[in-house]
Amino acid sequence: MTDLARRRMNRFGLAAIHIGALAVFIPGAFQWSALAVAAGIAYATGALGVTLFYHRTLTHRGLRLRKPLEYVLAIFGALALQGDPIRWVATHRKHHANADTANDPHGMDRGFRWAHIRWIYKHNDAIPSEAEIRRFAPDLCDRRFYRFLERTHVYMQLALALVLFALGGWTWVVWGIFVRLVLGYHTTWLVNSAAHSLGYRTYRTKDLSTNCWWVALLSWGEGWHNNHHAFPFSARHGLRWFEFDPTWLNVRFLAFLRLADHIKIPAASSIARKLQPER
């Protein structure tokens, strides 16, 4: 796909999804059952699929999951419609390799709006090419399961919409697809924008990452972003007692069930070495 075709598709898709979410203002479009369905799918796709799996497990290898659970959470992540696992991982790894520079796909060096959303549909030389995807995600490119999700993740969203329509009508589709996707998108994008501009910095890093408490609350702990950039491998992002990290609680629960192991967190000595000097 050419860059122009990708940008047009992204622009059209984002516009259609945001317009679809406005249907919540149509009289009769609210149902408690639809809200509950949207919340459940949002948790499965956002908290588990994107945050725990795409980000902390697949991209940074902060933990390892049992294979059946890995495949289930990969499907959940694909249903977040933020891209297939291979491209998502490659893009995020490139972000860390070039954070807040011209080679960062969504760097804050080009402003808040760019980091939040414009990087998706504007001309962007930093978007990973096919060669870069293979270089940044070699561990995924040759795995048939992830190649399958690469080809089918959009169709999976359409299948989910049909299931929701069959079970609950258009109201379930509006809340379970459109509203859920809009909220999930902006939550993720706030990590790229607000958590690279607002908040405090605990650790020395070469980027603009910050710890932003309200982004952390919205994004299942991802807003403790300066912590994350200081220790990308860590399965735990909230490193101080008051930095609430719901995803870390999920990781610990999976470890208790023996569904997760090889869990990585930074050593106390590493934390001490990277602390910002007091002013």
Q: State the pTM of this model.
A: 0.94
In a domain, 205, yes or no: yes
Q: Per the structure, how many domains does the chain have?
A: 1
DSSP of 40-93, one letter per residue?
HHHIIIIIIIIIIIIIIIIIT--SEE-HHHHHHHHHHHHTTTS--HHHHHHHHH
In a domain, 239, yes or no: yes
Q: Give me the count of residues in the chain.
A: 279
**How far is Cα 45 from Cα 50, in angstroms, rounded to an integer?**
6
Query: How would residue 1 be classed by pLDDT, with cut points 50, 70 and 90?
Result: low
In a domain, 247, yes or no: yes
Query: How would residue 203 be classed by pLDDT, with cut points 50, 70 and 90?
Result: very high
Q: Is 31 within 8 Å of 171 (Cβ atoms)?
A: yes
In a domain, 25, yes or no: yes
pLDDT above 90: residue 7: no
In a domain, 80, yes or no: yes
- Domain range enclosing 158: 3-274
Task: Encode 110-122: b = buried (16+ Cβ within 10 Å), e = exposed.
Answer: beeebbbbebbbe
Structure tokens at 71: 């495949």
What is the pLDDT averaged over residues 201-220? Answer: 97
**How far is Cα 28 from Cα 23, in angstroms, rounded to an integer?**
10
In a domain, 279, yes or no: no
> Of the candidates 171, 154, 184, which has an alpha carbon nearest to the alpha carbon of residue 39?
184
Query: How would residue 278 be classed by pLDDT, with cut points 50, 70 and 90?
Result: low
